[in-house]
Structure 1
Amino acid sequence: MTARLTYAFDAYCGWCYGFGPALRQFAAENAGRIDLRVVSGGLFSGPRALPVSAYGHIPGANQRIADLTGVTFGDGYERTLAEGSTVMDSTAAATALVALRRQAPGRALELAGALQRAWYVDGHSLSDVGVHRSIAAQHALDSDAVADAFLDPATRAEAEREFRELRRLGVDAYPTLLLHTPTGVHRLGGPVTGAASLTEGLDRHLVPAV
């Protein structure tokens, strides 16, 4: 039996960055029995798409994320954070994920991680088409096709449909990992849950009741 999961993710979500290593380990260890879909949310969209300096809680939150998950934030990101003018636009980031995912549907989790590294390690704006060209090239994808898709309004519309889908599923925080079962949709773990605990949670839901 293959378990169907939805990963509610935002490329500008620090907790998603912290959760990434555990989720990737979980996905690799359970590759033969899960179907994992990565869907973007709109954490910083519309009126919330503001310069990073507008969110004064971020440095403190980053320290907590690092302490609890072990991830590190890169020098490029720290410089961008200190400079403060880069706008975090989750709609642009989600559009980029759609564009990248079209080239490699089975590698969505890997590509989501690449977007987060571009921001949280290198400090690159995820509104910059050149960043997405570079990610595509690094992952042996068609850079021109990714760039064209990123700039296509239809791709942005698809990303915005994903925002609405997550709202219908009741997602109100990121990261959220959802397991779809015959009895309903269940949340699996949380932002500081390790890979082994995620697998244990999956096992509990998949073992038939006696």
Structure 2
Amino acid sequence: MVLHYIYDPLCGWCYGAKPLVQAAQQVLPVIAHGGGMMSGANRQSVSPQLRNYVIPHDRRIAEYTGQPFGEAYFEGLLRDHSAVFDSEPPIAAVLAAEQIDGRGLEFIGRLQTAHYMEGRRIADVAVLLELAQELGYDTAVFEAAFEAADTQHHIKQSRQLLAKVGGQGFPTFVLEDAGQFTLIDIGPWLGKPLEFSDWLRQTIPTAQVAVAAPFCGVDGCA
């Protein structure tokens, strides 16, 4: 049995669910699928309108999940009108980390901290290479894997999986057992990673779980 985690690096509710992903990894294999919420035509430059839109949602995520948001994000990145929110480069970096040594999930967590706590521009290749170096990757090796990543194909496959399992947005958690997919409603477990891992251990033998309710739509958080 494996847990599929359909995420986006710029999805605030995925950041809110970060401790649940880490807890699940202690119980069973977790496979990440980047959904490309803010890629292609949906990529956006930071603007006052974007800032005013996301801040109330981020405040709610912080209150609901206990995940911290930094002033460098609220008062730095969200006021940097030269920054662009684009999911594709960070997803490519996750694919590179996974290809090199299977640490894609760890890289997702580092991206989320860099974005929501440190206010770093995770769509910028230079920043992604800095983060890779911080995690111990050889820059040349990582850059080669990053450039070779077939990110658009990965996003397409992730969207196909999302549709196949009946998910509506990000994050979507899905248990797969012998080819059968069961959505998990993570709402009751947000902010409760230890309880979530205990529940997973009890649930795995039966795989009887509820249908998930999404937090971020496929084209943006709301």
Asked whether the 8 Å contact 1:16–1:191 carries over to 2, the reply is no
1:81 and 2:78 are equivalent in the alignment = yes
TM-score normalised per structure 1 = 0.84
Note if 1:189 corresponds to 2:185. Answer: yes
Match of 2:43 among 38, 46, 49: 49
In 2 relative to 1, CA 202–43 (structure 1 residues): closer, same or farther, beyond 3 Å?
Answer: farther
Distance 2:43 2:5 in 1: 22
Distance 1:112 1:158 in 2: 19
Partner of residue 174, structure 1: 170
Question: 1:113 maps to what in 2?
Answer: 109
* CA distance in 2 between partners of 1:81 and 1:92 (Å): 19
Partner SS state of residue 7, structure 1: strand
Q: TM-score, normalised by structure 2?
A: 0.80
| 1:145 alignment partner in structure 2 | 141
* Residue range with higher mean Cα deviation, 47-56 or 91-100: 47-56
How far apart are 1:200 and its partner, in Å?
Answer: 1.4
Query: 1:19-34 alignment to 2 at 5 Å?
Result: 19-28=17-26, 30=27, 34=28
RMSD (CA atoms) = 2.3
Letter in 1 for 2:119: G
The question of 1:71 aligning with 2:87 is answered no
Give the counterpart letter for 2:91 in structure 1: A
Q: How far 1:147 moved relative to its partner?
A: 1.7
**CA displacement at 1:168 relative to structure 2:** 3.8
Alpha-carbon distance in 1 for matches of 2:198, 2:172? 15
Give the whole-Å Cα distance in 1 for the aligned partners of 2:121 and 2:70: 14
Secondary structure of the 1:207 match is: coil
For residue 36 of structure 2, what is the amino acid of its counterpart? G
Residue 6 of structure 1: aligned partner: 4
CA–CA separation in structure 1 for the residues paired with 2:82 and 2:60? 23
Q: What 5-or-longer segments of structure 1 have no aligned partner?
A: none
The CA deviation at 1:84 is 4.0
Question: What secondary structure is seen at the aligned counterpart in 1 of 2:9?
Answer: coil
Contact 1:44-1:50 within 8 A present in 2 as well = yes
Q: Kindly, what percent of the aligned residue pairs are identical?
A: 27
Query: Could you list the per-position Cα deviations for residues 102-139 of structure 1 after superposition, in whole angstroms to 9, with x for gaps in the alignment?
Result: 1221x222111011112111222222122122222221
In structure 2, distance between residues paired with 1:157 and 1:22: 27
Equivalent in the alignment of 2:33: 39
How far the C-alpha of 1:158 sits from its partner, in A, is: 4.0
- 1:128 and 2:118 correspond: no
Q: Which moved more, 1:192-201 or 1:18-27?
A: 192-201
Q: How far is the alpha carbon of 1:208 from its aligned partner?
A: 8.4
